[in-house]
Amino acid sequence: MITYYYNNTYESLKDKRSKKETELIKERKDTPYPNYDQLKAERDQEDPQLVFTIKNSDGTVVKKEFQAPKEGVQRFHWNLRYTLPNPIDLSTSSFYNPWAPIDEGTLVEPGTYTVQMDLFEDGQMSSLVAPKSFTVKALKNTV
């Protein structure tokens, strides 16, 4: 379980425009109608993502988790598994089989790992915090 605190709220271009229009309406002023390019930019704007990069002690990327940025304390669960080497499998059947195994990567070995939180917004990645280390330990009842 990875717990983090994000202290910013995300405002899209549409949210910013709506807020500005609301202020103009309260002041009893005319609100300008957005032009085509502004509306297209609002429609095509991608939502930002928090990118959590988990690396082993050698610095090799083990897993990347993507979360939507929400203000406050948040949590997500990492299943201590590597990313699948071949995430696309075209040999699956066309019907739903509830007893079919779930494709998962292999479990990581015990050791020291780091997690780094970055923000991917408007096509650019920006680091939010320095990497934090944690230890994965094997349970005594495992082989």
Q: What is the pTM of this model?
A: 0.72
Q: How confident is the model at residue 143 (pLDDT cuts 50, 70, 90)?
A: low
Q: Which of 60, 65, 58 is nearest to 118 (CA)?
A: 65
Q: Give tens-digit pLDDT for 49-86.
A: 999 999 999 999 999 999 988 888 999 998 898 887 76
Q: Is 57 helix (H, G, I), strand (E, B) or coil?
A: coil
Percent of the chain at pLDDT exceeding 70: 90
